[in-house]
Amino acid sequence: MIRKFTVIGAGTMGHGIAEVAAISGLEVWLNDVTEDILKNAKEKISWSLSKLEEKGQIKSKDEVLSRIHLTTDQEEALKDTDFMVEAVIEDINIKSKVFSKADALSSDNAILASNTSSIPISEIAKYVKKGERVVGMHFFNPPVIMPLVEIIKGEKTSEETVKEVYNLAKRLGKDPVVVNKDVPGFLVNRILFRVNEVACWLVESGKASIEDVDYTSITDLGFPMGIFLLQDYTGLDVGYLVGKAMEERGFKTYECKMFEEKFKSKELGVKSGKGFYTYPAPGKFVRPEFKGAKKVNAILLLSSAINEASYLLREGISSKEDIEKGCKLGLGWPKGIFEYADSFGIDEVINALEELKNETKLENFTPDPLLISMRNEGRLGKKTGNGFYEYGKRNFTTIKYEIDGKIGIITLNRPEKLNAINEDMVKELNELLDEIEEDDKIRVIIIQGSGRAFSAGADTSEFLKMTPIKAMIASRRLQELYNKIQFLTKPVISLINGYAIGGGLELAMSTDIRIASSNAQLGQPEINLGIIPGGGGTQRLPKLSKRKSLQLILTGENISAKEAEELGIVDEVVDPSELENEGKKIANKIAEKSPLAVALAKYAVNLGNQTNIWTGEALESSFFGILFSTKDFEEGIKAFIERRKPQFKGE
């Protein structure tokens, strides 16, 4: 149990981490060297909380602020703390002093984490007697908004420490990835810097302009920002210093002279008013236009990043799922790096790497053994039906599906869009549900969201293309999907993390059991767009909660998971770290029962709710009698008499 959460360093990252922790309900001590720094941090936290309060994402700004304790006394901040996150500048000398003091003052079982983005955790752990409690907990900027957290194991970090930090990240509403080996740059930065090095080489070798590279990365790769524009936006000094720290610790890369020149001339990007692009004034960001820009080879642009990701996977540094998640949630890419690789073709990626190696004579462009073996085995990606992923009739783009025993787990998989429901997702869910219904091995279905949301509703970008008739058709299709879920022969459990609003809440309400994490926000905000719920919200919400349902629809306000539970909209609220476990626990209990009895029980309840009590009871009696003719009933009675657990087969 964390009674005291300490953040050392109240800069951009530190005060953001403190805010996130306080929002989750933790008592937070925020420390820095001067009152002015702390005052500035408090003002920024207060401004951010005001925005969250306006949006209904928190109930009371003042309540959250009351949990943040500011102090210039580092000893006071560290005394008996249960969890520390260090967020000071990237200087091992300063960090070593913080950790030495934390080691002496914190509680015996305290976890000591660093938010470092470049310094190995094993270096930092040298200044602590019990290295097993030192870990990396790398948030992304800004911490309040960015969903990803990298958890980095040092050489001595214990598995128990990693597990506790993973669960804490979930409690904070974040989506953690684990880096199993303490390599320079960890996960996301290693992949990002591989993209940067090729982009820089293309420009410095005269093969492309800065605008060409950025234009291609936005139009062909779907990046939210161009590669050079992103560096301007985040600060060239930040990127340069992180890159240097990584190189000093063995990260071999193409040496980009442009970055060094910009750093030395203090052309640091948006913050200084000039970087790779020129801005109207320091701190004023305006997207540049790419007039006359030409396309470059997108495969070449991503080839080194794919090579790096292959190394990370082959060495067990991170899992395929975490590497993909890092790209989508940490970099905002629409696809994971392995998805890009499969779409390009592994052979084409190797050709691009060999071109880079021949041109630069650098060994870091040598194709990774994993890529070579994949090419030799004919696993070239989509074109051969097999690469980093299997391709066949179940090649989903908006959802993921996995089987865990008798449970089918559907994950809404558009985390970069908060799992917004688009036309493709509706089609894919329909197809998959039809298949699962025919699969006798699956007895219970779980629906969950990837990233920091269950689903933030319909993808409003599709609204712009709709005529009134098309909007009505889209509404009917969504209603048909949700009716299918409600009247499916197999029970469906929704695990609601983060946002479940609009069509996302309507989806959850169509499921049979709704479990929410304590950080969930639920609502029907359609009225704010001048429309009404279109996926059954006006019908299901009043049936679940006679109290306040119309108010929620008319105001468009969000409510917390706790209030949703009080209103009967969700069945149970758990800590974010327990959401998946609780869902599977309930699913496994149901999966042990007779699938025939489960199906008819679900039908009796859901169909009975649509009619009067006499018709409903007649339906119940019919189902009750039918089940007496089944082998499952015979097995249930026999097992009861023999005092053993029944083995139901659905017969």
DSSP sequence for 129-141? S-GGGEEEEEE-S
Do the beta carbons of residue 647 and residue 631 sit within 8 Å? no
Q: Apex CA 236: angle with CA 231 and CA 242, to 5°?
A: 100
Q: Of these residues, 324, 506, 565, 580, which one is catalytic?
A: 506
Residue 472 CA to its chain's centroid (Å): 32
Question: Which residues, at least 6 apart from 8, have a Cβ–Cβ distance to it below 8 Å?
Answer: 14, 31, 32, 74, 77, 78, 84, 85, 86, 87, 88, 98, 102
Hey, is 531 helix, strand or coil?
coil
Which residue's structure tokens are 């955790």? 121
Question: Which residues, at least 6 apart from 79, have a Cβ–Cβ distance to it below 8 Å?
Answer: 105, 106
Around Cβ 103, how many Cβ atoms within 10 Å? 20
* CA pair distance 243, 117, nearest whole angstrom: 10
**75 part of the active site:** no
Hey, is 354 helix, strand or coil?
helix
Q: Which residues pair with 455 in a beta bridge?
A: 500
DSSP assigned state of 519:
T
* CA pair distance 229, 496, nearest whole angstrom: 35
Residue in 139, 131, 186 with CA at minimum distance from that of residue 157: 131
**506 part of the active site:** yes
Q: Of these residues, 150, 211, 526, 620, which one is catalytic?
A: 526
Which residue's structure tokens are 């001339």? 265
DSSP sequence for 263-290? HHTT--BGGGTBSSSB-SBTTB--PPP-
Residue 551 CA to its chain's centroid (Å): 31
Do the beta carbons of residue 522 and residue 553 sit within 8 Å? no
Measured torsion, CA atoms of residues 267, 268, 271, 272, in degrees rounded to the nearest 10: -10
Tally of CA atoms within 13 A in the half-sphere of 112 that contains its CB: 33
The catalytic residues are 506, 526
